[in-house]
Amino acid sequence: MARQQPPPWVHAAFLLWLLSLGGAIEIPMDLSQPPTITKQSVKDHIVDPRDNILIECEAKGNPAPSFHWTRNSRFFNIAKDPRVSMRRRSGTLVIDFRSGGRPEEYEGEYQCFARNKFGTALSNRIRLQVSKSPLWPKENLDPVVVQEGAPLTLQCNPPPGLPSPVIFWMSSSMEPITQDKRVSQGHHGDLYFSNVMLQDMQTDYSCNARFHFTHTIQQKNPFTLKVLTTRGVAERTPSFMYPQGTASSQMVLRGMDLLLECIASGVPTPDIAWYKKGGDLPSHKAKFENFNKALRITNVSEEDSGEYFCLASNKMGSIRHTISVRVKAAPYWLDEPKNLILAPGEDGRLVCRANGNPKPTVQWMVNGEPLQSAPPNPNREVAGDTIIFRDTQISSRAVYQCNTSNEHGYLLANAFVSVLDVPPRMLSPRNQLIRVILYNRTRLDCPFFGSPIPTLRWFKNGQGSNLDGGNYHVYENGSLEIKMIRKEDQGIYTCVATNILGKAENQVRLEVKDPTRIYQMPEDQVAKKGTTVQLPCRVKHDPSLKLTVHWLKDDEPLYVGNRMKKEDDSLTIFGVAERDQGSYTCIASTELDKDLAKAYLTVLGRPDRPRDLELTDLAERSVRLTWIPGDDNNSPITDYVVQFEEDQFQPGVWHDHSKFPGSVNSAVLQLSPYVNYQFRVIAVNEVGSSHPSLPSERYRTSGAPPESNPTDVKGEGTRKNNMEITWTPMNATSAFGPNLRYIVKWRRRETRDTWNNVTVWGSRYVVGQTPVYVPYEIRVQAENDFGKGPEPETIIGYSGEDYPRAAPTDVKIRVLNSTAISLQWNRVYSDTVQGHLREYRAYYWRESSLLKNLWVSQKRQQASFPGDRLRGVVGRLFPYSNYKLEMVVVNGRGDGPRSETKEYTTPEGVPSAPRRFRVRQPNLETINLEWDHPEHPNGILIGYTLKYVAFNGTKVGKQIAENFSPNQTKFTVQRADPVSRYRFTLSARTQVGNGEAVTEESPAPPNEVIHVFASGPPPSAYTNNQADIATQGWFIGLMCAIALLVLILLIVCFIKRSRGGKYPVREKKDVPLGPEDPKEDDGSFDYSDEDNKPLQGSQTSLDGTIKQQESDDSLVDYGEGGEGQFNEDGSFIGQYTVKKDKEETEGNESSEATSPVNAIYSLA
């Protein structure tokens, strides 16, 4: 994470800005003024011969100036040459060659003159030259014969071009010549070999010249080297190839680059070092080039003159060369003349001071003519480099030229003298708004003009004190600089320009804004490939300025694709990839300022694949494998996995061979005989594994007899009269030779007969005609063309099994409880098993229930008793039932014959819970209870037990118990008060005891809310119910029922009217009708109170909605299939629950839905 500093160009721009503040005041273009050159071509103007020639010259003045040219100091008559024209309102020359002509004919020295009635301004003397790219002279080059270790210089000698061409060396096949400290190109284009080696003969060497203007490359005929070899190259001390001798001198002009070069020969190749006599090298502008053979010093000044020496050294010795550097200088300005604006009667002066080496001479001209030949002017006095004007009048207006020159160049400057009488005027728009950032430096401009030159003063908010000094500084051109802006600097600033002819003023309004700052900057992060990275960039800025946040990656604009999400305060990168690595810069900017912060994202990726695998140190049982590691992608390599592939047993399949630490790149691999190996390497780091390397070359080891035998040898029968011998075949690395095969031996274990044997090429062999389930001794030995493997170990196998011949005898049953029995039996003889005894198995089924008219499933079930056991427990039985049971012996072939069928009876148990327990509350005085018999009585029911208790909030009353006969399924409870609710618990019982209980609660009456919460604010759940009665379920149901009842009454009336009969309705709705008379003889009918029931299998909840009961049990819970849990005595652990009769429930729901009266009663 870093807050980036402003780039260097920002400081340079600030310096230029400061320099501009002291510039001369310019005359507005609407006032009369002499000409001023504004644009011109460079002094040495080189042009492309294929293009038209353009020589620029532009000027301003009032009136607009006219132009003419001289060529080689003589008037250039443009009108006489049809190829030459001058641009309109400009002095720029255009020489057109579209219709023919040679550009070389126009070479020469040109000068432009811009003239109006107040004077003449001159351009520089422009030297026009046409670019040249001459062809290389034809030459035949003989092969260069050189002794190995000797120095060599291949000279380029390029044709002279304008400008000089760029030189580079390549082979004739256009491949660059590799350069280093031994072989390098000199500054003048020659190619130097400090010592020639045999490898230098592998290519040829051609010098190439690239010409800038024509964009052409010319190639010299190539040099061919022939290197003569010797037994050994003799080492020798260094000697200089360039420059020659021990000393030389060099002249350089001030402001140019100084390039010093030393190239030395020697064996071994010498190293070059640079020094300055009597001082240090200028570190801030000195740099080494061409493998330290060249020293470049930029922007040379006088203090860089002196003696420099280069030291060439190797282990044989050293030598040095001294270069004496002289710094000369073309003229450069000390005080360049500036335009002089005077009022009539004022005094002034023009100063032209320059320096150089040698000292330049100064020549004055006026309007392009030498000052000596100009008409005399009594108000003008020349004093060397200064012209003094006294009591200037209108007639003194002119343009003066100062030309200063020496042997290295010249400088030409124009400066006019203008005599005007003008009151002050402001040149910028009025009432400007300047917005500036707090604590910054700023400038308030107030461009003005007047003659005599007005004085300028600044004021703030109309105050009388002049602003100058301290935090303020007024420049010559009228700009006010505020060195550090503070909040109190905000306001209105007035600038007033005054001279003897009057005054003028202007106002600038300054607003101070808070700076833009990144207060949470992105931080350097390290992320694994594929993860998500977030780079924060939280910004604080002035709210009145528009903020823009954008991002750079590696200092280039960031393209935000679909894997990136840019928000105002962060940048998120999803699924980071290797290409996302780099520097990220957040730039927060407004129209006034910006702030930026940079962070670097390092992406950890899987390593690149290793490369260039090489096999060395080849031996019979080992080889050395060497590889070049790939890039670790910012995560160190921890391991290398070496894999191999062989082309005999599993071609194309790679196997792991060994693993090595990530610090090595070479390893000795132990090999097996007779394997045609091919290797590859995988690099592993914290992120993952690389792609495998390209395979190595193949290496085949010599053969040998096997050193091991196959594993996992087994003998098992697949039929009752055979035995199948199988084993795991040996792989390529354990075969050790061609034609791998297996010698299989077997014999009866008891008889100890001679061994039977057979040779097998696969991995199995079947022995036939074997007795039933007898043991065999088995051996499997590997063999190849080189011999047999070691003696194998003996494995015991068995021939095939047959079905058992006997069943368990003397099976005894003891009833443990209502759901479990214990079994005991006698062991069968081992010879009757005819195989491996796996288990004794009991088959049992429920024959009938002791309850009459109760259907039972007679599905057979089984219980297994693994091993040679003589007892066991069977559980998950149904109580009060008749069962039958048989037992068998089981081996690998299957079941034996069944034993004698045994019968047993389970005693009574406790019943399951009563089904469909319903609680009804027809009014506030009574509660009706109804239920159905248990699904599983598990015995003879002797009654029901009901326990109930009243509760009101946290208050609980005394529990009351009621016992009912087994045939009673209804009960009515008289409420003690209309406020309390009741909790009911109902269970059925047999002689064994009470069964599983079911619990229900009475519904809350609609007015319970008022009674319970009359003394205080109700809870939110009740408050919502009370607040909007129109949204209550019971109210909506009541309204629907009334509407349905009205519709039925209308239908009845319509039927009565259409049939003409009478249809009386029973007045006493609360008197139930018997099922024997639902309809009167006279055709009338009534509604039965039997319909005053809720939906079957449902109960009324607190909010008046109907809630369906759920059953969570089935026959599985009682042992009909599935697994169960038992106590140690075999008793069943579980519970019985009510099983819902779906068809009955659906039938009741259907009938309930057609009864509107029932809907009304159920909501009463």
Bridge partners, residue 168, by sequence: 208
What digits encode the pLDDT tens for the residues 455-478? 999 999 877 678 888 889 988 888
What digits encode the pLDDT tens for the residues 478-497? 899 999 999 999 999 999 99
Task: Give mean pLDDT, residues 120-143.
Answer: 89
Please name the residues in contact with 100: beta carbons below 8 A apart, sequence gap of 6 or more.
none
Which among 390, 389, 388, 394 has a CA at the least distance from the CA of 421?
A: 394
Q: Is 647:696 a contact under the CB 8 Å cutoff?
A: no
What digits encode the pLDDT tens for the residues 10-38? 444 444 444 444 455 788 988 999 999 99
- Calpha distance 729→733 (Å, rounded): 12
The DSSP element (H or E) to which 706 belongs, if any, is none
Q: Is the peptide bond before 163 cis (omega within 30 degrees of 0)?
A: yes
What's the per-residue H, E or C state across 392-447?
A: CCHHHCEEEEEEEEECCEEEEEEEEEEECCEEEEECCCCCEEEEEECCCCEEECCC
Percentage of the chain exceeding pLDDT 70: 86
Taking the alpha carbons of 760, 764, 766, 767 in that order, is the dihedral positive or negative?
positive
Q: Please report the pLDDT score of residue 182 as a whole number.
A: 95
Task: Give mean pLDDT, residues 897-917.
Answer: 95
- Calpha distance 928→214 (Å, rounded): 114
What digits encode the pLDDT tens for the residues 648-658? 888 999 999 99
| Residue type at 21 in one-letter notation | L
Q: Please report the pLDDT score of residue 1065 as a whole number.
A: 37
Q: Please report the pLDDT score of residue 17 as a whole number.
A: 43
Strands 564-567, 556-557: pairing is unpaired
Q: Is 560:587 a contact under the CB 8 Å cutoff?
A: no
In angstroms, what CA-CA distances link 643 with 432, 606, 701?
78, 18, 17
What digits encode the pLDDT tens for the residues 350-395? 999 999 999 999 999 999 999 888 888 888 899 889 999 999 888 8
Task: Give mean pLDDT, residues 972-977.
Answer: 89
Please name the residues in contact with 268: beta carbons below 8 A apart, sequence gap of 6 or more.
195, 235, 314, 315
Which among 538, 549, 553 has a CA at the least distance from the CA of 600?
A: 553
Task: Give mean pLDDT, residues 195-223.
Answer: 89
Percentage of the chain exceeding pLDDT 90: 68
In angstroms, what CA-CA distances link 785 with 255, 430, 710, 788?
88, 110, 17, 8
Instruction: Count helices and strands (H / E) in the chain.
Output: 8, 91
- Calpha distance 195→997 (Å, rounded): 109
| Residue type at 1124 in one-letter notation | G
Token representation of residue 999: 């619990």
Q: Is the peptide bond before 1018 cis (omega within 30 degrees of 0)?
A: no
Point out the least confidently predicted range of 54-68, 448-462, 952-966, 1097-1111.
1097-1111
In terms of C-beta density within 10 A (0-12 exposed, 13-18 middle, 19 or more buried), how is residue 399 classed?
Answer: buried
- Calpha distance 322→1073 (Å, rounded): 138
Please name the residues in contact with 173: beta carbons below 8 A apart, sequence gap of 6 or more.
none
Q: Please report the pLDDT score of residue 393 as a whole number.
A: 87
**DSSP per residue over 268-293, as a string?**
SPPEEEEEETTB---TTTEEEETTTT
In angstroms, what CA-CA distances link 68 with 56, 91, 113?
12, 7, 5
CB neighbourhood size of 81 (10 A): 12
Task: Give mean pLDDT, residues 273-296.
Answer: 93
- Calpha distance 869→136 (Å, rounded): 110
- 1006 has pLDDT over 70: no
Q: In the block, which residue shows the tokens 């993860």?
A: 531
Q: Please report the pLDDT score of residue 46 as a whole number.
A: 92
Q: What is the rounded average pLDDT for all residues in the chain?
A: 85
**DSSP per residue over 939-951, as a string?**
S---EEEEEEEEE
Q: Please report the pLDDT score of residue 640 as a whole number.
A: 96
- 1051 has pLDDT over 80: yes
In angstroms, what CA-CA distances link 610 with 86, 639, 697, 760, 1054?
69, 12, 15, 43, 97
| Residue 839 vs residue 1101, higher pLDDT | 839
Confidence class of residue 819 from pLDDT cuts 50, 70 and 90? very high
- 1010 has pLDDT over 70: no
Task: Give mean pLDDT, residues 890-897.
Answer: 94
- 1137 has pLDDT over 60: no
- Calpha distance 1028→282 (Å, rounded): 93
Query: What pTM value is reported for the model?
Result: 0.53
- Calpha distance 438→511 (Å, rounded): 9
- 579 has pLDDT over 70: yes
In terms of C-beta density within 10 A (0-12 exposed, 13-18 middle, 19 or more buried), how is residue 559 classed?
Answer: exposed
- 3-state class of 904 per DSSP? strand
Confidence class of residue 1032 from pLDDT cuts 50, 70 and 90? low
In terms of C-beta density within 10 A (0-12 exposed, 13-18 middle, 19 or more buried), how is residue 55 classed?
Answer: buried
Task: Give mean pLDDT, residues 144-166.
Answer: 90
In angstroms, what CA-CA distances link 1023 with 418, 547, 979, 1028?
97, 51, 18, 9
DSSP state of 182: S
Q: In the block, which residue shows the tokens 């980036």?
A: 4
Q: Is the peptide bond before 543 cis (omega within 30 degrees of 0)?
A: no
